[in-house]
Structure 1
Amino acid sequence: MQCKSGLAPLYAAIMLALAGPALAQETVIKIGHVAPMSGGQAHFGRDNANGAIMAVEELNAKGVTIGGKKVKFQLLAEDDAADPKQGTAVAQKLVDAKVNGVIGHLNSGTTIPASKIYAEAGIPQISPSATNPKYTQQGYKTTFRVVANDAQLGGALGRYAVNTLKAKSIAVIDDRTAYGEGVATEFAKAVKAAGGKIASQQYTTDKATDFLAILTAIKAKKPDVIFFGGMDNVAAPMLRQMKQLGISAKMMGGDGICTDALPKLAGDGLNEGQVICAEAGGVTGEQEKVMNAFVDRYKKKFNQNVQLYAPYVYDATMTMAAAMQQAGSAEPAKYLPVLAKIKHDGVSGKIEFDAKGDLKEGALTLFTYKGGKKEKLEVVK
């Protein structure tokens, strides 16, 4: 018996030696993901992270090979708390970790400063949600996004306010973030171009909860529409205070307020059909089946609904992986040129970038809220 048990270490050593070459052939590809996982926008951050988790798990389940070698994707998730300083700190952390690519950041205010760090390191970055046009106008070859930008989003909302809602008095509020200010600026441009007028321009912050002063000033202008450039956690108390002051104007906003969480956050401050918002992205026809299938898989896996950007995070991750496969390499310098010319069919539609890294033919979906639920109005391009 002693002799037999003594064979166990030898047997284990032989099996490890046989497994060694196979293990050595599996290359680890590090994908960085950054979003606010803490603070008022944490629900968005978790949604984004879930999209990345789904993509990485599906890639690994398929057993992807790149350049003839089996690879394993590893997700390195970081929290930027929607803070530009923290955003650049975690960007440098990912560069130091020698990631092969980055999906993120969520906010334009963190994405833009972080993009300089990734660009200097030559690391491709695909944002699933940063919509400020400045992001892709810096001249970096490493910056891409898989959603329409603020010029498209704000423009569509501005034209809708004048041409469809026939608004005569329009007020604009933004939270002074790169996203909020950017989408509000583009909205105001489109209103003026369509022959409308901005009756009042006000400012707040992305952490504010008291808007009585600015809303009182706006009330004097008898607004038909109040546009808010910001996120749902700020729009919600604003809606409650609009009701408190007897302001019956419609609220319009970009994808930051266009969430399933808004009715819960706003409570009885949200009236039927009061909010009209635009989400960057949108599918029609047969593509709706593909998106719905993703939403069902997401809900089954995480036991919750998609908040907003998860499908675009998923698509961004899959697009980056597809570029690596086509290039036969996960080295940034080698797959970057392929990524720039990629044509990938995602759950959100066809992904193809222009010379700046913007999504070609980016779609937008207009929504309102009825019965406490988000209801699609139309998809526009």
Structure 2
Amino acid sequence: MQFKFIPLAIALAFAGSAGAQEIIKIGHVAPVSGPSAHLGKDNENGAKMAIEELNAKGIKIDGKPVKFVLQLEDDGGDPKQGTAVAQKLVDAKVNGVIGHLNSGTSIPASKIYYDAGIPQISPATTQTKYTQQGFNSTFRVVANDAKLGGALGGYAVGKMGATKIAVIDDRTAYGQGVAEEFVKGAKKAQPGVQIVAKEFTTDKATDFNAILTTIRGKNPDLVFFGGMDSVGGPLLRQMKALGIKAKFVSGDGTCTESLPKLAGVAAVTGTVTCAEAGGVTGDEQKAMDDFSARYQKKYNDNVKLYAPYVYDAVMTMAAAMQQANSAQPAKYLPVLQKIKYQGVTGLISFDAKGDIKDGSLTLFNYNDGKKTKQEVIK
């Protein structure tokens, strides 16, 4: 047997070439434990898809090959846990952060990322305050509550003809925010609309009998709920059990494929109208459909809600790094602020506050347990 010896200089050259690959760490935070774990996992899946596709392209930045590495963290939907994992990502010197899912975790975490100079793109945070804190490192790829809640309020009275509305929220930053904007939107569209009840619960509640009995006595023709599907589903189920025949309107937190399983098909069919904070029409629909097909093939599951927005958030951040020719936050942040990236969820660019420009909404209802698109509102 003959052995071929590689000259030392060549061996060192090969070693140097391999070692020259730059590692770019992207942090991702979502609740993969707790009541919204199914949505958190959906987000993680979207991030993983983006990272795998980026690495498959063999991207170079500043002439050097790079490898994107995802650091996954679980905030459990809890603000204290959210700030703890935010500090963990800062200590790990990540190049950027995608997350969080909940407004209640994104908002306190955003201060930590801002102080460290690390860009944060949320794929799901809608609370208006998130981008009104004066942090130039804070972005979102979905419409905010002012648009989402306001548009739903106008739609409820204008298109659905609601005159007597009961409002319930889960006391989270998201739930309260979207409920407040819904009421503003409804009153702006129809000053004479009656808000016959304002009730609240928690994001971990399972028994709504007391507040629903009160609401039933007010005989509303529409109930608005600000919160997530893990609460909205059981709430709907108990509304039906109590014989409340009011229409049910909610934001993106309940607008999921899982809602019929949580509420029961009978409780959602012909009753629910919800809005997703994003939406595509025309030629853009094919890109979204292609993403959904790739997702289904990879995970043997349907997109729950935010996965395409997570995917686009990762891709947008990577595009800013490529255009800046650097993954250093201070160097690519100015590029991210002016980015124009055509994603699967549409064209992504940000205003001066970090809100997505021309954010759209998609209205859905449920037919025989299937989430069904109604229309896109720009």
Q: Using structure 1 for the length normalisation, give the TM-score.
A: 0.96
Given that 2:61 and 2:321 are in contact with CA atoms closer than 8 Å, whether structure 1 keeps it comes out as yes
- Give how far 1:137 is off: 0.1
Q: Alpha-carbon deviations, 1:82-114, whole Å to 9, x = none?
A: 000000000000000000000000000000000
Deviations 1:242-301 (A, max 9, x none): 011100111110000000010111125524220000000000000001100000011111
Counterpart contact for 1:103–1:125, Cα < 8 Å: yes
User: What does residue range 305-316 of structure 1 map to in structure 2 within 5 Å?
Assistant: 305-316=302-313
Instruction: Look up the match of 1:344.
Output: 341
Report the equivalent of 1:252.
Answer: 249
Q: Which of residues 180, 193, 211 is equivalent to 1:185? A: 180
What is the CA-CA distance between 1:16 and the residue it aligns to? 5.4
Question: What is the CA–CA distance in structure 2 between the aligned matches of 1:16 and 1:239, rounded to whole Å?
Answer: 67
Contact 2:260–2:268 (CA under 8 A) maintained in structure 1: no
Q: Give the Å deviation of 1:156.
A: 1.0
Q: State whether structure 2 residue 65 is matched by structure 1 residue 58.
A: no
Matched letter for residue 23 of structure 2: V
Quote the residue 1:286 is aligned against.
Answer: 283
- Report if aligned partners of 1:172, 1:201 keep a CA contact under 8 Å in 2: yes
2: distance between equivalents of 1:318 and 1:373? 30
Is this contact kept in 2: 1:236–1:269, CA < 8 A?
A: no
Unaligned runs of at least 5 residues, structure 2 = none
Please list the CA deviations of residues 174-220 of structure 1 after superposition, one character each: whole Å capped at 9, or x if unmatched.
Answer: 00001101100100111111122211100000000000100011111
* Partner SS state of residue 167, structure 2: strand
AA matched with 1:343: K
Does the 8 Å CA contact 1:254/1:278 hold for their aligned counterparts? Answer: yes
Does 2:134 align with 1:139? Answer: yes
TM-fit CA distance, 1:168: 1.1
Q: Residue 321 of structure 1 corresponds to which residue in structure 2?
A: 318
One-letter code aligned to 1:160? Y
Question: Do structure 1's residue 69 and structure 2's residue 89 form an aligned pair?
Answer: no
Question: Structure 1 residue 226 and structure 2 residue 236: aligned?
Answer: no
**Where in structure 2 are the equivalents of 1:54-133 lying within 5 Å?**
54-133=49-128
Q: Equivalent residue for 1:151?
A: 146
Cα distance 1:197–1:16, how it changes in 2: closer, same or farther (>3 A)?
Answer: farther
352, 358, 361: which one pairs with 2:358? 361
Matches of 2:356 and 2:154 in 1, distance apart? Answer: 21
**Equivalent residue for 2:204, pick from 203, 207, 220:** 207
Q: 1:198 aligns with which of 195, 198, 220?
A: 195
Shift of 1:12: 11
Aligned length: 376
Letter in 2 for 1:286: D
SS at match of 2:355: coil
Match of residue 46, structure 1, among 33, 41, 45: 41
Which residues in structure 2 correspond to 1:292-307 (within 5 Å)? 292-307=289-304
> Which of 332, 335, 340 in structure 2 is aligned with 1:335?
332
Q: Secondary structure at the match of 1:215?
A: helix
How far off its partner does 1:65 sit?
Answer: 0.8
What CA distance in whole angstroms lies between the structure 2 residues aligned with 1:271 and 1:68? 54
- Root mean square deviation of aligned Cα: 1.4
Deviation sequence 1:99-138 (CA, Å, 0-9, x none): 0000000000000000000000000000000000100000
Show structure 1 runs of 5+ residues with no match. Answer: none
| Change in 2 beyond 3 A, CA 1:110/1:12 | farther
- Work out the CA distance in 2 between the residues paired with 1:361 and 1:62: 30
Name 1:24's counterpart in structure 2.
19
SS at match of 2:296: helix
Question: What code does the residue aligned with 1:141 have?
Answer: N
Shift of 1:17: 2.9
Aligned residue type for 2:335: V
Aligned letter for 1:133? T
AA of the residue aligned to 2:67: K
Q: Distance in 2 between matches of 1:221 and 1:60?
A: 57
- Equivalent residues of 2:114, 2:136 under 8 A apart: yes
Give the secondary-structure state (helix, strand or coil) at the position aligned to 2:305: coil
What one-letter code is carried by the residue in structure 2 that aligns with 1:234?
Answer: V
Identity, % of aligned positions: 66
CA apart distance, 1:24: 2.1
Code of the residue aligned with 1:130 in structure 2: it is: T
From the superposition, tell whether residues 15 and 48 of structure 1 become closer, same or farther in structure 2 (CA, over 3 Å): farther
- The whole-number CA distance in structure 2 between the counterparts of 1:37 and 1:19 is 41
